[in-house]
Amino acid sequence: MEVNLVDVLFTVFDRRNRLVTDLDKGDFKVFDDNVPQTIDHFTRQSDLPLRIGLLVDTSNSIRERLHFEQDAAVDFLYNVVRRGKDQAFLMTFDDQPYVVQDYTDDVAKVRDEIMGLRAGGATAIYDAIFEAANNQLSHPPRPRGDQPDVVRRVMVLISDGDDVLSDHTKAEAIEMAQRSSVVIYTISTNSDWIGTSSQPDDAAHEHAKYRLTENDEVLKDLAEQTGGRPFFPYHVDDLNQSFLDIGDELRCQYQLDYNPSNYRVGGPYHRIKVEVDRKGLQVRHRKGYFVRSAPVAATKPSG
């Protein structure tokens, strides 16, 4: 019997954007291309080890914002990575991606590499995402000891979103991330802003992004298609609470599996929608999955 389980990792928030962690299988419905599906497995997952790919743009286009990128990357590591539990690797990209530091739980080691980065070259964002998802994040290090062989795969992309050189397309990068169950969080380095204060150098909360550039929209799409979140900070300080929230979010999630009744209907890409029965709650999850051209028994089309 051919089984094509689709796994969906998701997070639930209330109106105040607070995590909701006490829901059960009966509280949810899942739709595949608008067709209701039967949930085969459901779990509440907490405190899972994180495997994080930190992707930092070092192309010429971000030269003036490189210091911002370095500070943001280091702040993320210190706010999220737990020594002995989580591991992260550092990949830079300009003309092509480079793994500067392989997986480690030693934040200081990654920090030193980050602070030594220099900018130069063109930008190949989609190639970097594809490479990281297909290689480093598809088979991350297993947890130590007797811990369950389950980890959360995360990509943090810090860039201006201006890809000019990739061999892979944005769609291919998103597909690879979805196949590898990678959630992407993007941090924009674009600097089109307006201040709501008469003094532009006031505290970060007195500034607001007045529009998303075309490249910002790229970063937004990369995050939302994979179940992550985009960030458009003015100062690095704007990110501190966001990083803490991401850490909490990644460790308090739900997962469901279903065997789509319409697996071969509607083309190679299927849209997923998870609904919760309680009022005032919202669900964040990846938007869909790609059907493999030649599915193999007992495999997941989503990776």
Domain boundaries, the chain: 50-250
Q: What is the pTM (predicted TM-score) of this model?
A: 0.86
pLDDT for the residue numbered 59: 95
Give the CA diameter of the chain.
68
pLDDT for the residue numbered 208: 58
Q: Vertex 288, ends 56 and 10: CA angle to 5°? A: 75
Supply the mean pLDDT for the chain: 87
Instruction: Please name the fold of domain 50-250.
Output: Rossmann fold (3.40.50)
Q: Give the pLDDT confidence of 148-171 residue by residue, as tens digits.
A: 668 899 999 999 999 999 999 999
> What is the phi-psi region of residue 238: left when phi exceeds 0, alpha when psi lies from -120 to 50, beta otherwise?
alpha
pLDDT for the residue numbered 4: 80
Please state, in angstroms and rounded to a whole number, the distance separating the CA atoms of residues 245 and 18: 9
| Interval 226-251 mean pLDDT | 86
pLDDT for the residue numbered 244: 84
- pLDDT over 60 (residue 243): yes
Q: Give the pLDDT confidence of 28-69 residue by residue, as tens digits.
A: 999 999 999 999 999 998 888 999 999 999 999 999 999 999
Reported as a pLDDT band with limits 50, 70 and 90, residue 248 is: confident
Count CA atoms closer than 13 A to 113's CA, side-chain side: 22
* SS3 at position 33: coil
Please state, in angstroms and rounded to a whole number, the distance separating the CA atoms of residues 97 and 123: 9
